[in-house]
């Protein structure tokens, strides 16, 4: 299989072949090696063939496996969820710093997808609780499942609806996070096939200039923040100036951008009062 993958130009043929074999046979690497001389069951071989065909057609391995690691935790995916990206862990790190020292530690995550950002924060911070919203009802199902899987379900409230719509009068938060869709509509076609053909459009399309979601989120966030609370959003690498301008126009103070490990502009944080 790995030769087939290599000939097809797949970047990591050995790794992909191993992960799909582990999935098809329900065994970890060592057991697979130890039992390689045994006759393989037909059902497992049929499964493996199916997975290989999907991979050769361009489906990413994480989509076939249905799971992706984020902040050291496995997150279950479905068709409505973005595959969590390593750079989004910056929101977790920054979010934990913002919550540290605050008494009630209530957070809101907008466009939660798998729930990776708030669930990682809750797993690290046992006294925190989170509300999370997403317009995709299937994403809400995945997020609830993941919260249960990581033992934080009692402190995690996922609600279906657009951005702040599912919130109740009087609710307020120490921290609001969001990794919203931020790709310019015209650029979606230019994305890698693994992304444009397999990540949901609702998770990618940020409107004509990529800033549609930021206008709503940054414009309304202060209304839902406690005094001293903060908004932290992930941005596309060319959106720093435009998003910081939105923060400043909305009345945030100490607005700052942070770069990711690759040196690209990645998150913008602003404080309320
Ligand atoms: C870039 S994905 C991020 C998902 C997840 N937070 C992550 O970092 O992996 C953006 C998410 O925003 C959701 N979304 C898009 N439009 C929305 C809206 N109007 N209200 C709430 N969520 C929305 C999408 O369904 C998707 O889950």
Per-residue model confidence as pLDDT tens digits over 19-64? 999 999 999 989 998 998 889 899 999 999 999 999 999 999 999 9
Q: Pocket of ligand 1, candidates 203, 205, 220, 221: which has the most ligand atoms within 8 Å of its Cβ, to mutate?
A: 203
Residue 273 confidence class, pLDDT cut points 50, 70, 90: confident
Burial profile 1-35: b = 16 or more Cβ within 10 angstroms, e = fewer: bbeebeeeebeebeebbbbbbebbbeeeeeeeeee
User: Do 198 and 234 form a contact (C-beta atoms < 8 A)?
Assistant: no
Q: Is the dihedral of CA 231, 235, 240, 243 positive or negative?
A: negative
Residue ranges around ligand 1 (CB below 6 Å):
82, 84, 88, 110-114, 116-117, 133-136, 139, 162-163, 179-181, 202-203
Instruction: Please tell me which residue, 194 or 223, carries the higher pLDDT value.
Output: 223
User: Do 61 and 55 form a contact (C-beta atoms < 8 A)?
Assistant: yes
What is the position in ligand 1's atom list of the atom closest to the CA of 204?
1
Instruction: Output the CA 248–ligand 1 centroid distance in Å.
Output: 23
pLDDT average, residue stretch 246-253 = 98
Instruction: Output the CA 10–ligand 1 centroid distance in Å.
Output: 29
What was the pLDDT predicted at 133?
Answer: 98
Res 173 pLDDT > 90: yes
Domain ranges of the chain: 2-65, 70-271
Which has the minimum average pLDDT: 8-12, 175-179, 219-223, 229-233? 8-12
What was the pLDDT predicted at 40?
Answer: 86
Res 257 pLDDT > 90: yes
User: Do 59 and 198 form a contact (C-beta atoms < 8 A)?
Assistant: yes
What was the pLDDT predicted at 37?
Answer: 87
Q: Which residue has a Cα nearest atom 27 of ligand 1? A: 113
Residue 101 confidence class, pLDDT cut points 50, 70, 90: confident
User: Do 81 and 200 form a contact (C-beta atoms < 8 A)?
Assistant: yes
Domain 70-271 carries which CATH code?
A: 3.40.50.150
What was the pLDDT predicted at 104?
Answer: 87
pLDDT average, residue stretch 116-140 = 98
Distance of CA 24 to the CA centre of its chain: 26
What is the position in ligand 1's atom list of the atom closest to the CA of 85?
9
What is the position in ligand 1's atom list of the atom closest to the CA of 81?
27
Instruction: Output the CA 235–ligand 1 centroid distance in Å.
Output: 13
Report the C-alpha gap between 242 and 181 in whole angstroms.
15
Res 151 pLDDT > 90: yes
What was the pLDDT predicted at 115?
Answer: 98
């Amino acid at each position: 299989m790995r030769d087939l993958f290599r000939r097809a130009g797949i970047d990591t043929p050995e790794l992909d072949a191993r992960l799909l074999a582990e999935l098809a046979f329900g065994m970890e690497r060592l057991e697979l090696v130890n039992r390689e001389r045994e006759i393989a069951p037909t059902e497992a071989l049929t499964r493996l063939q199916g997975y290989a065909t999907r991979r050769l057609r361009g489906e990413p391995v994480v989509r076939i496996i249905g799971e992706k690691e984020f902040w050291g935790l496995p997150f279950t995916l479905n068709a409505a969820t973005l595959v969590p990206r390593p750079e989004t862990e910056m929101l977790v790190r920054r979010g934990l710093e913002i919550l540290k020292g605050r008494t009630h530690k209530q957070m809101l995550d907008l466009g939660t997808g798998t729930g990776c950002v708030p669930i990682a924060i809750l797993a690290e911070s046992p006294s925190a609780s989170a509300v999370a919203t997403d317009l995709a009802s299937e994403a809400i199902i995945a997020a609830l499942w993941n919260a249960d899987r990581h033992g934080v379900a009692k402190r995690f409230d996922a609600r279906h609806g657009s951005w702040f719509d599912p919130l109740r009068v009087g609710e307020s938060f120490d921290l609001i996070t969001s990794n919203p869709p931020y790709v310019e509509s015209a650029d979606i076609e230019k994305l890698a096939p693994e992304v444009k053909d397999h990540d949901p459009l609702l998770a990618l399309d940020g409107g004509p200039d990529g800033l549609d979601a930021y206008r709503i989120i940054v414009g309304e966030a202060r209304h839902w923040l406690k005094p001293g609370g903060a908004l932290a959003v992930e941005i596309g690498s060319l959106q720093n100036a435009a998003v910081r301008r939105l923060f400043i126009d909305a009345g945030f103070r100490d607005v700052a951008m942070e770069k990711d490990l690759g040196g690209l502009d990645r998150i913008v944080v602003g404080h309320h009062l």
